[in-house]
Amino acid sequence: MKFVSTRGSCAARSFSEIALEGMAPDGGLYVPESIPDFRPLLPSLLGLSWEDLAVKVMHAYADDLTELELRGLIRQAAATFSNSKVVPLVDIGPCRVLELFHGPTLAFKDVALQFLGALFEFLLARSGGRLNIVGATSGDTGSAAICALRGRARIGVTILHPEGRTSPLQRKQMTTVLDDNIHNLSVQGSFDDCQSLVKTLMNDLEFKEKHQLGAINSVNFARILAQIVYYFSAWSQAGGKPLSFVVPTGNFGDIYAGYLAARMGLPVRKLVLASNANDILPRFFSTGDYRRGQVHHTASPSMDIQVASNFERYLWHLQGGESTRALLEQFNRSGSLRVESPDPAGLFSAVSCDDAQTLQAVKEAHAQSGGYVLDPHTATAWHAARQTGHLGSDCVLLATAHPAKFPDTVREALPGVHPRHDILDRLETLPERCGRLANDLEALKDVVNRNAV
Ligand SMILES: *Cc1c(COP(=O)(O)O)cnc(C)c1O
């Protein structure tokens, strides 16, 4: 399989190449040149273990690794999960829930990042290279990346978070990781300040080259690839019947993986996209108009995103390379773009959910399931499923985080319920290590110069 850039002006590359490279040099994202047809294979996939299923699905894209190499990486990643199915499908009564939160940081990003960590280490050992990750986080992504890359050879990690603006729980998930290659920095500024520091640093091509700087966000196709597997796993766990998936979405990453699964031939009835008050994607699917707005801070903070980075990939599948480049240039100039037919196959529904509806969804799901507790991100999926009339036994909500990660919102919806998890309880007593950083590019460069591998 070859991968090409959504902006259409780079040479086609192999999976190993694009996994280390992340973004394409023309500013686009890598997409698979074609989508493998899995329809003839479906019967042979039913009932496979996570590991066997993942090897089959991922090798169709990552075909420049041997199946044995790929299996080793998948096994390493799966071993960090506390559930042997990795992503168990649970029947809660009114619908099913695909629990994606059994990894070490209790959020779905572990599924992809644990694989990515193992993959990076393997590829760097083979090439003799090194990689320095610099990233900004408002919470979940940072802890999942730190956990996936801690202690790995040839990899350095520097993660910026806004001082005092992440929850104590989220901060501790990052700062209690004391491995030598992990560097947390609390920045005197907002999340946007953190992000713009990282962006500016990445645009300094000389500095980027000198330290082999890399990114961890979902622009990396290797992350998407690991996520395709759980759509197949849900289908297999449900006995092979067609399903609707309801997906809490920020960057269009998770649901893009579902789109590829459907295009590969997995029997998907509907992909229901659930957003919070940041509703750029629901507006796009109802009007064809993709228009930047203000970022709203909500009870589902990991989806507080206006411009969804993976959306560019969907545009490419819809429109092809030439037109995608033109549309994105227009978007970058004017803050909006328009597509005639946003969903030609009628695969998507899209619903946004405000904070009051999120709380109501936590309450309602708890009552109707006899006590199952949703985290606020997954609650947006419940709301979207109900709004679109999809609740039922062939409806799967993707549960993106464990409710104990967001105890305050859960308690607000369900007074008296205290979701907890051992992993989080243990953080209380662990020592923390964290540097402080002024909102200043030169100060960040100093730190990276000192800590780079
Ligand atoms: C990142 C995240 C999301 C959104 O995922 P995307 O891939 O950005 O669409 C949803 N829920 C949780 C808990 C997350 O951490």
The structure tokens listed for 342 are: 């946003």
Geometric angle at alpha carbon 373, from 368 and 377, rounded to 5°? 110
303 found inside a domain = yes
The response to whether residue 223 sits with its C-beta less than 6 Å from ligand 1 reads no
User: Going by CA atoms, what residue is nearest to atom 2 of ligand 1?
Assistant: 302
180 found inside a domain = no
Q: Give, for 96, the enclosing helix (H) or strand (E).
A: strand 96-99
pLDDT at position 122: 97
- Residue 201 CA, chain-centre distance (Å), reads 23
CA-to-CA dists, residue 305 to 15, 277, 283, 308, angstroms: 28, 10, 14, 7
Identify the CATH number of the domain in which residue 245 sits. 3.40.50.1100
- Domain coverage including residue 351: 89-106+221-421
Amino acid found at 418: H
**Which residues participate in catalysis according to the annotation?**
109
Give the number of other CB atoms < 10 A from CB of residue 421: 15
| Among 196, 168, 223, 162, residue whose Cα is nearest residue 29 | 223
Residue of 141, 220, 254 to test ligand 1 pocket, by largest number of atoms within 8 Å of CB: 254
Q: Which atom from ligand 1 is nearest to the alpha carbon of 248? A: 10
The response to whether residue 109 sits with its C-beta less than 6 Å from ligand 1 reads yes
DSSP state of 47: T
What stretches of 277-395 show up as alpha helix (H) in DSSP?
A: 280-287, 311-319, 321-334, 355-369, 376-387
Encode pLDDT of 15-26 as tens digits. 999 998 888 888
122 found inside a domain = no
259 found inside a domain = yes
144 found inside a domain = no
* The length of the chain, given as a count of residues: 453
98 and 123 Cβ atoms separated by less than 8 Å: no
Q: Is the pTM of this model over 0.85?
A: yes
Encode pLDDT of 142-163 as tens digits. 999 999 999 999 999 999 999 9
CA distance 119 to 269: 33
The phi and psi torsions of 134 (rounded to 5 degrees) equal -125, 125
Residue of 102, 166, 303 to test ligand 1 pocket, by largest number of atoms within 8 Å of CB: 303
First to last CA, the chain: 32
Q: Which residues pair with 186 in a beta bridge?
A: 161, 436
Instruction: Estimate the crossing angle of helix 355-369 against helix 376-387, to 10 degrees.
Output: 80
268 found inside a domain = yes
Encode pLDDT of 50-86 as tens digits. 999 999 999 999 999 999 999 999 999 999 999 999 9
User: Going by CA atoms, what residue is nearest to atom 7 of ligand 1?
Assistant: 253
Q: Could you list the pLDDT tens digit for every one of the 453 residues in the chain?
A: 999 999 988 899 999 999 988 888 888 999 999 999 999 999 999 999 999 999 999 999 999 999 999 999 999 999 999 999 999 999 999 999 999 999 999 999 999 999 999 999 999 999 999 999 999 987 788 999 999 999 999 999 999 999 988 888 999 999 999 999 999 999 998 888 898 899 899 888 899 999 999 877 768 999 999 999 999 999 999 999 999 999 999 889 999 999 999 999 999 999 999 999 999 999 999 999 999 888 888 999 888 887 888 999 999 999 887 899 999 999 989 999 999 999 999 999 999 999 999 999 999 999 999 999 999 999 999 999 999 999 999 999 999 999 999 999 999 999 999 999 999 999 999 999 999 999 999 999 999 999 999
Distance between Cα 178 and ligand 1 center (Å): 26
97 found inside a domain = yes
The response to whether residue 253 sits with its C-beta less than 6 Å from ligand 1 reads yes
Distance between Cα 450 and ligand 1 center (Å): 32
**Number of domains comprising the chain:** 1
